[in-house]
């Protein structure tokens, strides 16, 4: 415990003077009683009163605690809070322009993501990854909500879909450096050193249609090894929709089994979002890590409350013993 105004404790120097004055008063009362006894006005036998000093002691203790309160004590208080890192990985391939979710799959995902970002406490860092045929970290994990929302608003559908690239981009955002797939031909390695990141989650928003790139199942294993949980959100419907791409009509539908395997590998959960309302409920179900941290908190009010109780107790004892407070 620390004190904001430690010089206020100089007021405690008054307590010894009060104690000396109290003892002098007791001796003066004893002398006066002896004088009256000598004149036969009172009995000379002194009776012990075990409650005699209780009220003064309680009142002095109340004064001491009040003086300590004036020093504005600060204590380290344990405070639970939600912490962690969440990466919102958006599929921005051409199929996300399908309208089996209104107004489109991507627009519904962006609308629900904005609500999720605004609800999170400052202790939760949020990043944004956009992936199609490749992945781009459009916002590194940060507590700057304006930057995150701006990154979400910029997303536009185009290109192919690589779920593996989406997972790699999310892991890179969490690690703060590029992460390559195991066995990448360019690195010539079979394993990728990534580290361990507890309390982190990736929210993979996609229709699940994988058109190429690294194997998402292998990268889900890598994420699990790194302690990263992947929550997959399936956008669209199994019946799907038809979109126009460069004059061609292309059918696109939700691939739920692939997303279920990814989430189960990492200890996450697959969620099917048929509309913007159900998507918002999915975000509400995401669980982050609860941690307890010690934070400095001024406890002057606690000291003042204890002093008030001591003062009340002393006044009560004094009234019961002699019919008055002082």
How far apart, in Å, are the Cα atoms of 70 and each of 60, 305, 311, 312? Answer: 16, 13, 16, 19
Residue 7 DSSP symbol: G
**The residue count for the chain:** 326
Report, as an integer, the average pLDDT of 284-295.
66
How much is the mean pLDDT over the chain?
A: 82
- Round to whole Å and give the CA distance between 63 and 66: 5
Among candidate residues 47, 53, 44, the one with its CA nearest the CA of residue 23: 53
- Assess contact for 92 and 159: CB atoms under 8 A: yes
- Assign 290 to helix, strand or coil: strand
- The H or E element that residue 206 is part of is strand 200-206
For every residue of 61-116, which 3-state class applies, written as one string?
HHHHHHHHHHCCEEEEEEEEEEEEEEEEEEECCHHHHCCCCCCCHHHHHHHHHHHH
User: What's the CA gap between 227 and 82, in Å, rounded?
Assistant: 17
Task: Please classify residue 70 by burial: count the beta carbons closer than 10 Å to its beta carbon, then call 0-12 exposed, 13-18 middle and 19+ buried.
Answer: middle
Residue 188 has pLDDT above 50, yes or no: no
| Confidence (pLDDT) at 192 | 47
Whole-model pTM above 0.85?
A: no
Asked if the model's pLDDT at residue 157 lies above 90, the reply is: no
256: number of Cβ within 10 Å: 16
**Which band of pLDDT confidence, cut at 50, 70 and 90, is reported for residue 190?**
very low
pLDDT digits (tens, 9 = 90+) for 102-155: 888 899 889 888 888 888 878 889 999 999 989 999 999 999 999 999 999 999
CATH numbers and ranges of domains, the chain: 2-75+296-322 (no CATH), 92-287 (3.40.50.410)
User: What's the pLDDT score for residue 46?
Assistant: 56
Q: Could you give the residue ranges of the DSSP H alpha helices within 92-229?
A: 105-119, 145-153, 163-175, 216-225
Instruction: Provide the β-strand partners of residue 170.
Output: none
Cα(281)–Cα(124) distance, rounded to whole angstroms? 19
Instruction: Please tell me which of 51-60, 119-128, 170-179, 276-285 the model is most confident about, judged by mean pLDDT.
Output: 170-179
pLDDT category of residue 279 using cuts at 50, 70 and 90 = low
Burial-class residue 10 by CB neighbours within 10 Å (0-12, 13-18, 19+): exposed
- For residue 76, what are the β-bridge partners? 296
CA dihedral 183, 186, 188, 189 (to 10 degrees): -50
């Amino acid at each position: 415990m620390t004190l904001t105004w430690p010089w206020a404790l100089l007021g405690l120097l008054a307590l010894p003077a009060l104690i000396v004055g109290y003892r002098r008063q007791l001796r003066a009362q004893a002398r006066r009683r002896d004088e009256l006894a000598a004149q036969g006005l009172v009995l000379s036998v002194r009776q012990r009163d075990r409650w005699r000093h209780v009220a003064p002691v309680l009142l002095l203790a109340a004064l001491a605690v009040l003086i300590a309160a004036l020093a504005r004590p600060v204590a380290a208080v344990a405070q639970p809070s939600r912490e962690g890192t969440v990466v919102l990985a958006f599929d921005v391939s051409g199929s996300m322009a399908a309208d089996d979710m209104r107004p489109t799959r991507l627009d519904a995902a962006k609308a629900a993501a904005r609500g999720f970002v605004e609800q999170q406490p400052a202790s939760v860092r949020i990043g944004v990854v956009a992936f199609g045929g490749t992945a781009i970290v459009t916002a590194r994990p940060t507590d700057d909500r304006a930057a995150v929302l701006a990154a979400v608003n910029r997303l536009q559908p185009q290109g192919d879909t690589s779920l593996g690239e989406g997972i790699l981009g999310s892991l890179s955002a969490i690690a703060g450096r590029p992460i390559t797939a195991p066995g990448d031909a360019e690195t010539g390695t079979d394993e990728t050193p990534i580290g361990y990141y507890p309390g982190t989650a990736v929210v993979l928003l996609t229709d699940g249609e994988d058109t190429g790139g690294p194997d998402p199942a292998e990268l889900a294993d890598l994420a699990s090894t790194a302690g990263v949980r992947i929550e997959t959100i399936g956008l669209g419907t199994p019946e799907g929709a038809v979109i126009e791409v460069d004059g061609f009509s292309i059918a696109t539908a939700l691939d739920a089994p692939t997303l279920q395997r990814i989430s189960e590998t990492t200890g996450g959960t697959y969620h099917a979002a048929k509309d913007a309302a159900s998507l918002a409920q999915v975000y509400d179900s995401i669980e982050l890590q609860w941690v307890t941290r010690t934070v400095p908190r001024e406890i002057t009010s606690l000291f003042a409350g204890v002093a008030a109780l001591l003062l009340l107790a002393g006044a009560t004892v004094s009234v019961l013993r002699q019919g008055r407070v002082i």
